[in-house]
Every structure is written in C-alpha cells, then in structure tokens.
Structure 1
Amino acid sequence: MKRLFTVAVLVSMGIMSGCASHHSVDELPPMQAADPSVDDMDLANGMDEPAPVEVDSVASIDNEDLWVRLRAGYGLDLSVENDRIRVQRDWYARHPKYFERVTTRSERYLHYIVEQAEARNMPLELALLPVVESAFDPFAYSHGRAAGPWQFIPSTGDYFGLHRTWWEDQRRDVIKSTNAALDYLQKLANRFDGDWLLALASYNAGGGTVSRAIRKNEEAGKPTDFWSLKLPRETKAYVPKLIAIAQIVQDPDKYDIPLQPIRNEPYFAEVDTGGQIDLAQAAKLADISIEELYLLNPSYNRWATSPDGPHRLLVPADRAERFSLALAELPVDQRMQWARYEIRPGDNLGAIARRNRTTPEVLRSINHLKNNTIIAGRTLLIPGPAAGSDSYTLSADSRLADNQNRQRDGRQKIDHTVRSGDTLWEISRQYKVGVKELARWNNMAPGDKLSIGQTLAVWSKGTGTTTVASRGDNNMVRQVRYSVRNGDSLYAIADRFNVSVNDIRSWNSKVASKRYIQPGQRLTLYVDIRQSY
C-alpha cells in the first residue's frame, strides 16, 4: 500500500496533465456554494457520524487532536472584525448542534485535506472551506449544478480532469476533488499576488468578476482589498463565513460551540483494486458497511467501481490490510457479476441497455463494440449488482429514490413521466410548484436536461393531487395527456377516465376559467391504470 502523501502528489500531477479544456483558469465561470441553509434532512441518507474520539486528559487531546494541528497552520488574519463576519458567526452560535454535526462529519476527510494543504504551504483555514461549500456532504448538489465536497461545476471540473461518466462523478472523489480544489485556489492566489481573500472570492464568484471589481475601484481611487470591493451578495457573505468558521474553530469555548476532537491520523487508506469490483463485495471483504464504503468513495454512481479506473478504493485505515489480503485471495471472475445475453432478432443496443438498467456506452465498452450494431445469435456481457438493489443504499439510484419518496408535510406525490418537449419550468407551472423545489425533489439542478421517459416526483399541494392519492396505490396513477376531439365534453371525458369534472378543472387551470373546451385542446389527466377505457 502506497503512502498517502506520495499518492496524493501523483494524483495531483495526473489532474493537471489531464485537463480537458484549453481555456485559461482565469476564464472559468463562478462556482456557487450549495444553498447556505443546508438542512440535515437534505444531507446524504445514512451519513452516520464517525465515532467520537475518546481521550483521557487535556494533554492527550493536544497531542492527538487534529484541530490543534489545523490551528497551528492558520495563515489568514482572523483578528479582523466587522458586521459581515459577526452575522455569520452569530448564526453558527445560534445553531451549535448544526456546527457540531458538520464538523464531526468532516472527520472522514479533514486529515487528508489538512495534509495536502500543509504540503503546499497553504493557510489551513482553507481546509474548512467544504463546511461553507457542502457542509462536508460529499453528495451535495447545488442549484448551480455544482457537486461534491468542493462544489465543482461541470466546466471547472472538466478543466481539472474530474471526469463524469455513467459510472462515476469524480467531482465527488475525495482525493481528486481535494487536489483539484487546492490547485485551483493556489492559481487564484497567484493571480491576485498571494491575496487569499481575493482567491476565495474568485473561487465563489469567478476570477473575472473579482478582477472587474478591482478595476472599478482603481478607477474610482478606492481601496482594492476584498472588504472594499463591490461583489455579488453571495460572495460578500462567502468569505466572511469561512473566517467566522475559522474563528470558532480557533476558540470554540469563547463562542460556546462544542467541537468534537478528531484524531490526528489518517482516517482512510488507499488500496489498489487492480480492476473493477462490485462495491457490496468490496465492503464485505473490508468488513465494513456499504454505506461507509460509499461515503469514502462517493464518486461512484452505481453498484461497482468504474471499469475505466482509477482502480482504487478508500477504506478505513485500520481495515486496509484486511481488505488487501482478502482481495488478493478473491478470484478475478468473482469481483463482478456478469449476465450473458443472447441477441435476438429485432433487438437493439439501446433497448437492451434500458432493460438492464445500464447504457449503450457501457455495453459497447464492455463488449468491445465499435458502434451500436449488434448481430442476432451473438452474446453480450451485461454487468449487474452482486447483491439486491436495496443493498447499494448510497448509489445514485437509491439516493434519488429516497429523496423522491421522502414525505413532505401537506403534499401528495405525483409521478410525472417526461415527454418530448417537457422542461422543468413547464412541469413546475403545470403542477404549481417552484422550479427549484421540483429540481431538489429529484436530485437535480434547475438547468439540468430531462430525458424522455424519465420519472420525476412532484410533491403538489393541489386539490387534484389529493383526489388522485385518495384512490390508494399511487404507483397505479399515471399522467395522461389527452387531446380533445370533436363532440367531447368535460363530462364525457371525466366519465371515460373515471375522474370527476372538478378533477379535470383543478389539473388544468385554463379549463377552470372557460365554459367550453375546444377540439385539439390538450388536457392533463391523472388516471388509474388499473381501469379499462
């Protein structure tokens, strides 16, 4: 097993050599943090806090506590005081349990981040930036399509070589995203002559935004430090928030906020798997829960690691040797479960992929196909989970299902199947819900694209929804788009689909204000598919 420091440097070099964009880092767009009102209900399902550190004395805390090491490496001016900092600090002081939970949750990742920042001689306050960005939730996904603990947006992630595939999203990879974020922050600091506050502001708002604000102040003969610049509202709060957090960590007793000690030792170790492996199988070999494995390897979207690598897993440090030995004894053909499918006349790769919950790209890669052409009679290898789908509790599908089905007080759930031409905005208007709400219920951002056939959960307050829900099995209720024909009336349509006229009016706001319906008009209906029409 390689030393973590050596691995980190190599990974960091790999990130920089694998840049997918030719744009200058100065041209990268802003990366907004996750919503500041992060609620623990919205954090990763099953994200248990690590066990508390047990210590025998104050002296042992000083020797072993990672917070002590972090404070020793502070490099920002934390003596500054102003209303912008006090507002943020007072919020945390009013929510000490939240601060305690978030910082305790950081235990899985903080030692590695501190180690990498130290190696670069960076101010260690930067190690606390994921508190601002994601509340140390590796699955955080913001309204601006930012993902992971450091909240990389797609274009900036691409620039730093954080690849996104069906199998994984490396913006959530603990090692790769940390090194990419520190690379980015150092570049921004270099751009602003070592001013870390301007670098932090640029991380949030974009370097161009900060540079323009500086030029305006220069032209007006005003100071060009962070506190004097006219910046977006979020950015003006972003830097004070980090300073407030660093001040609290520096002296938690002063602000009456408990700070759970964190061991000053690596939480995880890296193990070379030599190839793709099923995550349930890997968790069993390491003798840890699959939730813990996902939380250390949150980049993986599915039930297995990516076939394209990097072929490694992070496991708790005290389980690394056990996992390595067990992995070495496991036959290669037992690392993944494969099904053999004989191609039938009329089959196409897309349909086979959909039936097996995978993609044509995956099937092409595994079966070494140059295109989507397949021949009847030949055999395809299809990957599948070794355990039941319920076992992979933090896979993308499981997290989506948990979020979509989480009860919302005073609301009823409707399953909306995406049709051609649908957008989140149009769907939100149809159900009278907010676009951000709709996106959040479905682990999306408002700007994300929809796919035909995709199922969205809509939690509506509408009276029509209540009527549908009262029929019993919501899974039997489907949305129908009905085109009005000559001779149709609301009463005839209601009778045909076994709904009421009031239902139809509540589902279609334009109908409610008119006495008659017109041929060609499209109505939205929610019908029980167990009925025959």
Structure 2
Amino acid sequence: MNPIRFMVIAALLPAALLLSACGSLPSQPDEPERVEITEETDTVRLADAEQTLLGLEEATPFPDLTPSRDIPVGESPPSEDIWGRVRAGMGMPDYRHHPSVQPHIQWHLCRPDFIQRVTARAEPLLHYILEEIEARDLPTELLLLPIVESAYLPFAYSHGRAAGIWQFIPSTGRHFGLKQNWWYDGRRDIHASTTAALDYLQQLNQRFDGDWLLALAAYNAGQGTVARAIQRNERLGRPTDFWSLDLPRETRQYVPKLLALRSLVEDPWAYHVELWPVPDEPYLELVQLDGQLDLAVAARLADLDLEEVYQLNPGFNRWATDPEGPHHLLLPRDRTPAFREGLAALDASERVVWNRHRIQEGETLIQIARQYRTTVAMLQSTNNLRGSNIRAGQYLLVPSASEPASTYTLTADQRRTQTQARGPAGRVQHQHLVQAGDTFWGLSRRYNVSVQELARWNGMAPGDTLRPGQRLSVWLSSDAGPVASAGPPQLQNPAARRQTVNYAVRPGDSLASIGQRFQVSVADIRRWNNLGNGNLIRPGQTLTLHVDVTNQGGGA
C-alpha cells in the first residue's frame, strides 16, 4: 500500500469509528434542559451542572459559523490564534484513549458545532482569562473548564445554586471573597470570579500533591468528598488515582469531559474539528471607576450597546454598579481611552441621577425603595438613617436610573420577566402570588407539577427562598381546569381580570416606572388618559389604569 495513503487512512480511522456510533449516543446525561433566568440570585440558570453540553440558548444570536477553510489531514492548524498558545501551555496528562474519555470525544464529533458556538460566545473573554492562568503558571487546559461548567454563559445558574461561568455556590463564593447582594453578585463578575476560581484550583492542586485530576474532581465534588474516597481506597489497599476512586457519578463524568475537550484542542486536525479562530491579542481591559456609575452612562461613554456592557459585566444585577463597590468594569480595550476621558470629565451628579423625594403620609422606606428600584439599606446609608422611622414632609435623596427600566434589558428584573414569559408549548400560564409559608414543594403538589419545573419556569433553583408578594409563573396543562387557590384565584375571563385603578403620581414617577409597577404598557397609559405622545406627568396628577389583578406581584 502507498505509505502516504496508509498514513491518511490511519489518521481518519479513529474519527470514522467514532462518528459511526453517533446514532446510538444516549440523549442523557449530556442534554440539558433549556437555560432559564431567575429572580432570587438574579441569574440565568442551567438545569444541571452535569448537563451542560447541548441545546444551550441565549438571546444573542451566534455569529456565522461557516469554517474559513478545511484543515488537511496530518497538518497542524496555524498557531497565530489563541489555540496555539493554549496547546503550548498544556500541562495535564493526555487521556484521549481512556475508555471514560472516549465517549465524550465521540459526543463532540457527533455535534461539531457545539465547541464553535461556545468558543464564539466566549471569544471576548478567552484572552483575558488565559493571561490570568499563565500569570500563575497553571495548565492552560483550565481555560476550557468553564465550557464544562457553564458553556461560558455569563448568567449561568445551576439547580444547585451555582452561578457564573465558574459555577460558584454561594458559600464557596463568599469564602473566596465574592460579594453577593441585591446590587451585585461577584460569582458572575468575570474578573472577580476568575481570580477566585484560580485561587481555589491552586489550593486544590496543592492539597492533592499536584494531581490535577484530583484537583478538578474536588472542584466539582468538594475536597472532603475526594479526600474521603482516597482514604477508603487506602484502607482497602487500592490505588488512589482519580480513575480508581469511588466518586459521585457527576464527578466521574466531569473530569473526562475536560480531558475530552483538551484532546480536541490539542489535535483538532486529527479529529477534523475546526476551532473558532480567536485572535491572540488582548480584547478586554479592567477599568477602575472610583464610585457608583449608571450602566447606561457607562455604555454611552464607551460607545457600546448597553447589553454588551452587561454581557461583559454580568455581576451587576441592577441599573448601576454597586454603590459600595467593586468599582470596576471590563470594557473592550479600544474603547477604554475615550471612556476614561469621558468619565474624568463627567460631573459627579451625572454619574448617577439623584431624586429628592418628599415623604408622603403613610409611606414607608420599603415602598419608597420599591418605587425607585433600590434597597432600604441604600436609602438608610445615603440619608444617614439609623432605623426605618421616617416622617411625612421630610426629604430623602434617592439614586435613580437615568433611563426607563425597559432600557436595562439584562437587569435581574428584566431577565426574570423574560424567563417567566417562556413556557412549554401547549400549556397555559398561571400567575401565583407567593403567600407566607409557601414552598416549592407545597406549590408543586398544589399545581401538580414538579419542583424542578416550577423552579425552572421562574429561573430559580429548588433551594432558593420564596418571598411573600413574589410572583411566580406556573405553566399548566390546557385541560387542567380551575386551580384551587389560597391566594388570588386564576380568573379565566379576561374581562374579569381587569380592575380600574386611580393612581396618584408621586415625585420621581415616570410613565415607564408606573407601567412596570402595574405591568401595563406606556402606550396604554397614554391612551387611557388622553396623553397623546407625550411623557410629561406631574406629582399629584391622577392617572386611570386598567390592571390585570392576577398579574400584580410584590416587585418594584
């Protein structure tokens, strides 16, 4: 046989054998349920940390994935892009022929677009994260770990309450200094979470004497789980390497998933896999702000779409950065000079809009906080209030968004609304107003749905806390019939759901904020009150609203 032809056949044979089995691949556990969005920790949530390899969706469309060229068999692809640099820095063992790794390689060969879609989405982040990895002299395979964890979805959240591209649970995130509050979740902050994840991985690697497979297993299952498995094997006189340990099923799949990705990135030409070309040059820069900043103002100064600012800085839950910090943003490097110049020239009053709110008779801090989409703690801090006692006629300074709420499309509230509006085909949406004592388990029994479904429809995890006044979406079978309810009933007649409300405009109100509060459109408010196309309203003015009584929750 011609030796060149033999070499070509030898190179093609492994891929051909793997591809031949595509039809028999199981759909589980690698096919996740669709990505959802939440309110409680205000993140997009993946159904299962073990199920992050297929069917992931997000609002931003993927770029054109047509390969730019074919890679000849036996040739190394060009190394001008970031993947050559990743290959040069790999430091983990090559286990591509291990029987536990082979099925995951096969999975990718049967779905060749997955790794391209994920790396195309991650492109703005990859060089930044790779430099953080290299600065610590860590194996560059760690750049692939967020693919296994979250598919590089910036708002990813698992049913186990793990958030962000590195999937920190709340307690571990706090242990590594990731702040989590109403304004901000550091588990989703690309800069902060990457620092924390690499700190954690370094600690685990040292804990397990430089064995990266054990360190990765511990990152997934916890170091106590791995340590106990090692101790069991030691008592039984068995080997204590990763492959010999009795670990949770998810962890036994988790490490081979990363090793499979490592093999594809190291030898894409051998598997006929085309990697998304990522330039080997810096794209992002960390910019210090020295104080709170409205994200719409940041977008204007950087000449970016507001959605892009949120995608690069998914840690921010609201319309502005956290007033208590961190005071930083990740921005494209080519936009940072103009941004810094504009920020330096910005008057302090332009960084965040401040409203002077006159307290009305009977108002509470909670009501005022909801009106301005802020927190009681923020009002107390800003106005030097030690308690919650306020008096009618006094004034409060309140930070407020410079744009209508609908402009900030990736805030926690907006993402929650989008998720709750998406349900399974053939089902009818029911709005449930959470009452004191409600639990996911109790509501699942009441509506005859699973806890997992109920949490997913609302972008939450089953372990999240329900708050009285919170509004949940429940998607019921179209033939389910009336729902017995301890709270407001689900009214089947659309006309019966409508109630006329005479609303007195308060200082700081806008048509957009009133529309959001009562879940009606600005156009409808104008039509009901003969306002024409204008937006001008005055405190004390009475507006007539026709609201859906089943669609009124406790949100601001």
Q: Is the 8 A contact 1:52 1:260 kept in 2?
A: no
User: Quick one: structure 1 residues 113 and 369, their matched pair in 2 at CA, closer, same or farther if it must change by over 3 Å?
Assistant: same
Q: Secondary structure at the match of 1:303?
A: coil
User: Quick one: structure 1 residues 72 and 86, their matched pair in 2 at CA, closer, same or farther if it must change by over 3 Å?
Assistant: same
- C-alpha deviations, 1:2-29, integer Å up to 9, x for none? xxxxxxxxxxxxxxxxxxxxxxxxxxxx
Q: Is the 8 A contact 2:201 2:215 kept in 1?
A: yes
Q: Secondary structure at the match of 2:271?
A: coil
**Over the residues paired in the alignment, what is the CA RMSD in angstroms?**
2.9
- C-alpha deviations, 1:48-89, integer Å up to 9, x for none? 65999989x999984530111011000011145222111111
Does residue 46 of the first structure (1) align with residue 60 of the second (2)? yes
User: Quick one: structure 1 residues 347 and 40, their matched pair in 2 at CA, closer, same or farther if it must change by over 3 Å?
Assistant: farther
Of 111, 116, 124, the match for 2:132: 116
User: Quick one: structure 1 residues 51 and 302, their matched pair in 2 at CA, closer, same or farther if it must change by over 3 Å?
Assistant: farther
User: Quick one: structure 1 residues 82 and 348, their matched pair in 2 at CA, closer, same or farther if it must change by over 3 Å?
Assistant: same
Q: Secondary structure at the match of 2:216?
A: helix
The normalised TM-score by structure 2 is 0.76
Which segment is superposed worse, 440-449 or 265-274? 265-274
Distance 1:427 1:247 in 2: 46
Distance 1:178 1:299 in 2: 12
What amino acid is the match of 2:373? R
How far off is 1:440 after superposition?
1.4
User: Quick one: structure 1 residues 62 and 440, their matched pair in 2 at CA, closer, same or farther if it must change by over 3 Å?
Assistant: same
Detail structure 1 runs of 4+ shifted over 6 Å in the superposition.
Answer: 50-55, 57-61, 466-470, 526-530
Does residue 331 of the first structure (1) align with residue 364 of the second (2)? no
Does residue 286 of the first structure (1) align with residue 277 of the second (2)? no
Task: Name the structure 2 match of 1:443.
Answer: 459
User: Quick one: structure 1 residues 203 and 323, their matched pair in 2 at CA, closer, same or farther if it must change by over 3 Å?
Assistant: same
Task: Name the structure 2 match of 1:77.
Answer: 93
Does residue 160 of the first structure (1) align with residue 184 of the second (2)? no
Distance 1:223 1:75 in 2: 22
Does residue 457 of the first structure (1) align with residue 473 of the second (2)? yes
What amino acid is the match of 1:131? I
User: Quick one: structure 1 residues 344 and 39, their matched pair in 2 at CA, closer, same or farther if it must change by over 3 Å?
Assistant: farther
User: Quick one: structure 1 residues 101 and 150, their matched pair in 2 at CA, closer, same or farther if it must change by over 3 Å?
Assistant: same
User: Quick one: structure 1 residues 272 and 49, their matched pair in 2 at CA, closer, same or farther if it must change by over 3 Å?
Assistant: farther
Q: Secondary structure at the match of 1:165?
A: coil
Give runs of aligned pairs for residues 143-158 of structure 1, distance below 5 A. Answer: 143-158=159-174
Task: Name the structure 1 match of 2:51.
Answer: 37
Distance 1:254 1:104 in 2: 21
What amino acid is the match of 1:341? H
What amino acid is the match of 2:59? N
What amino acid is the match of 2:49? D
Give runs of aligned pairs for residues 236-275 of structure 1, distance below 5 A. Answer: 236-275=252-291
Task: Name the structure 1 match of 2:524.
Answer: none
Distance 1:113 1:336 in 2: 31
Q: Secondary structure at the match of 1:182?
A: helix
User: Quick one: structure 1 residues 293 and 139, their matched pair in 2 at CA, closer, same or farther if it must change by over 3 Å?
Assistant: same
Distance 1:403 1:474 in 2: 26
Tell me the number of residue pairs that the alignment of Structure 1 and Structure 2 aligns: 450
Which segment is superposed worse, 99-108 or 374-383? 374-383
User: Quick one: structure 1 residues 139 and 312, their matched pair in 2 at CA, closer, same or farther if it must change by over 3 Å?
Assistant: same
The normalised TM-score by structure 1 is 0.79
Distance 2:116 2:191 in 1: 24
Give runs of aligned pairs for residues 118-137 of structure 1, distance below 5 A. Answer: 118-137=134-153
Q: Is the 8 A contact 2:156 2:164 kept in 1?
A: yes
Distance 1:476 1:256 in 2: 59
- C-alpha deviations, 1:277-316, integer Å up to 9, x for none? 1111111111111111111100000011111112111111
User: Quick one: structure 1 residues 41 and 166, their matched pair in 2 at CA, closer, same or farther if it must change by over 3 Å?
Assistant: farther
Query: Percent of aligned positions with the same letter in both sequences?
Result: 49
Distance 1:352 1:444 in 2: 26
Give runs of aligned pairs for residues 165-180 of structure 1, distance below 5 A. Answer: 165-180=181-196
User: Quick one: structure 1 residues 255 and 60, their matched pair in 2 at CA, closer, same or farther if it must change by over 3 Å?
Assistant: closer
What amino acid is the match of 1:382? V
Q: Which runs of 5+ in 1 are unaligned?
A: 1-31, 478-525
Q: Secondary structure at the match of 2:285?
A: strand
Q: Is the 8 A contact 1:47 1:295 kept in 2?
A: no
Q: Secondary structure at the match of 1:314?
A: strand
Distance 1:529 1:360 in 2: 25
Task: Name the structure 1 match of 2:116.
Answer: 100
Of 311, 321, 330, the match for 1:295: 311
Give runs of aligned pairs for residues 415-426 of structure 1, distance below 5 A. Answer: 415-426=431-442
What amino acid is the match of 1:255? Y
Does residue 409 of the first structure (1) align with residue 425 of the second (2)? yes
Q: Secondary structure at the match of 1:463?
A: coil
Q: Is the 8 A contact 1:102 1:131 kept in 2?
A: yes
What amino acid is the match of 1:73? G
Distance 1:252 1:466 in 2: 56
Q: Is the 8 A contact 1:76 1:123 kept in 2?
A: yes
Task: Name the structure 2 match of 1:207.
Answer: 223
Distance 2:461 2:252 in 1: 23
Q: Secondary structure at the match of 1:170?
A: coil
Which segment is superposed worse, 408-417 or 189-198? 408-417
Q: Secondary structure at the match of 2:101?
A: helix
Q: Which runs of 5+ in 2 are unaligned?
A: 1-45, 484-489, 500-547
What amino acid is the match of 1:125? E
What amino acid is the match of 1:46? T
Task: Name the structure 2 match of 1:191.
Answer: 207
Distance 1:85 1:71 in 2: 19
Task: Name the structure 2 match of 1:496.
Answer: none
Q: Secondary structure at the match of 2:356?
A: strand
